Structure 1
Amino acid sequence: MSLSVVQGFSKSLAMTVLSEIGDKTFFAAAILAMRHPRRYVLAGCLSALIVMTILSAAVGWAAPNLISRTLTKHIATLLFLGFGFWSLWDAFHEGDSEELAEVEAELDADLQANGKPKANGKDDDDTKKKNRPIFSQFFSPIFLKAFTITFFGEWGDKSQIATIGLAAAENPLGVVLGGILGQALCQTAAVFGGKSLAKQISEKFIALSGGVLFIVFGIQSYFSTVDS
């Protein structure tokens, strides 16, 4: 494996973990997993994030072919620095539980709009799915709901745009592999104990760490050389 792939992989992995822990999609996966079978929630959320990572990296890879590499470098630098200061601002001006409360409110509103589930709804749901073909089980309403919520929740998020900038500056293959591994780690943690994990970690610390990491990436991008 080349050095450029390893560098893109490590940067993408670190950026993804620090961006996604405590993010809206993290809490959405955690709350959905409390109401529905975990395997469908994990499959739906992770599939959406993998698709998003590949699409974002593809855009970042294409950018240097559409505009000059020098301009691409400057845009990536501004993105990293901008998101770094944005994360630092969030760390000092937002409460630790605001993100979780906002996601819970949105999902509760969606649940009320679609009717409250029965007390044994989860057990009935599992029993019914055992009698379905494997293909129809995989693309169940729960899978599609988790996929849709995660995909559109992540669309336009700073982590998606940062992935585009990172893929423009680093090896796209490394960025994709690191991003997918990071998403898998975060979504697995969210589905199998995200709410309890969220109470134990400090969102301020995560935001501070992410902000510093983005700024370091921005400084490195600024001083990096442009290949002709």
Structure 2
Amino acid sequence: MTPAKETWASFHAFVASISVIIVSELGDKTFFIAAIMAMRYNRLTVLAGAMLALGLMTCLSGFTRITCPPALFAIFGVRMLREGLRMSPDEGQEELEEVQAEIKKKDEELQRSKLANGTPDVEAGTTVPQGKWHSFISPIFIQALTLTFLAEWGDRSQLTTIILAAREDPFGVAVGGTLGHCLCTGLAVIGGRMIAQKISVRTVTIIGGIVFLAFAFSALFIKPEAGF
């Protein structure tokens, strides 16, 4: 493949990856986790933990090589469309409440640990007052990392990344996916619950199904290495 075609293949993979991640992650469980935790704790600590988890997951998925026929894009798209059309307009509220309960449970565990060990200022995202770097290895950082990683494992966006990496440039998929996650998580951390409550999970899911059907069409008739 010529340098020009390699560049086009990477760019094609980047655009495809960032597009599907955005429509997959907005209003997803990992989005709600970041939004709710950012209201309770240090935003930078929450963002760092969530992004480390999402970056690791995206890279693992982006470089997972499987045989993926174009039909899988269509199947995934049809499935998302069916889910979206069957959803009620306030579908996202149930997942939001589930995340709130899960984080509340983790909060109680942290408070019990704080009382048992006498560690200061858990809610501020720090456990040891010396050194700025301690805030990035605090219980809040670990909580954001583990909750996000577990929520992302086997999630829609992980599957989409693996599917895309099956036919696109894996480097472009990994970079686009990581940037897409960064945009969504940053929006969740900055906007918090207000944005989470205004996002229509139903609309985003339907758009995601349309995007996947478009990629199914592209996979049948356009090869990414073909260039312009």
If the TM-score is normalised by the length of the shorter chain, which range does it land in? 0.7 to 0.9
For 2:122 and 2:158, locate their aligned partners in 1 and report how far apart those are by CA, in whole Å. 37
Structure 2 residue 183 is the aligned partner of structure 1 residue 210:
no
Structure 2 residue 74 is the aligned partner of structure 1 residue 81:
yes
Structure 1 residues 60-101: Cα deviation after superposition (integer angstroms, max 9, x where no partner)? 3xx3xxxxxxxx241xx2432222122212212232422212
| Count of residue correspondences | 213
Corresponding letter in the other structure for 1:31: I
Instruction: Tell me the TM-score normalized by structure 2.
Output: 0.83
Corresponding letter in the other structure for 1:93: R
Q: Which runs of structure 2 are paired with 1:10-159 in the superposition (5 Å)?
A: 10-60=15-65, 63=66, 72-74=67-69, 77-94=70-87, 95-115=91-111, 125-126=123-124, 131-159=129-157
Do the aligned residues in 2 keep the contact of 1:26 with 1:194 (CA within 8 Å)?
A: no
For 1:54 and 1:127, locate their aligned partners in 2 and report how far apart those are by CA, in whole Å. 27
Structure 2 residue corresponding to 1:174, chosen from 172, 176, 196: 172
Unaligned runs of 5+ in 2: none
For 1:12 and 1:84, locate their aligned partners in 2 and report how far apart those are by CA, in whole Å. 15
1:129 positional shift:
5.7
For 2:46 and 2:169, locate their aligned partners in 1 and report how far apart those are by CA, in whole Å. 31
> What root-mean-square deviation, in Å, do the aligned CA atoms of Structure 1 and Structure 2 show?
2.6
Corresponding letter in the other structure for 1:134: K
For 2:80 and 2:145, locate their aligned partners in 1 and report how far apart those are by CA, in whole Å. 26
Q: 1:103 to 1:122 in 2, by over 3 A?
A: farther
Unaligned runs of 5+ in 1: 64-71
Q: Quick one: percent identity of the two aligned structures?
A: 39
Q: 1:226 to 1:32 in 2, by over 3 A?
A: closer
For 2:130 and 2:13, locate their aligned partners in 1 and report how far apart those are by CA, in whole Å. 42
Corresponding letter in the other structure for 1:105: A
Instruction: Tell me the TM-score normalized by structure 1.
Output: 0.83
Structure 1 residues 19-77: Cα deviation after superposition (integer angstroms, max 9, x where no partner)? 100000000111111111111000000110001010001113xx3xxxxxxxx241xx2
For 2:132 and 2:124, locate their aligned partners in 1 and report how far apart those are by CA, in whole Å. 13
Once the two structures are overlaid, the 10-residue window that deviates more, 50-59 or 77-86, is 77-86
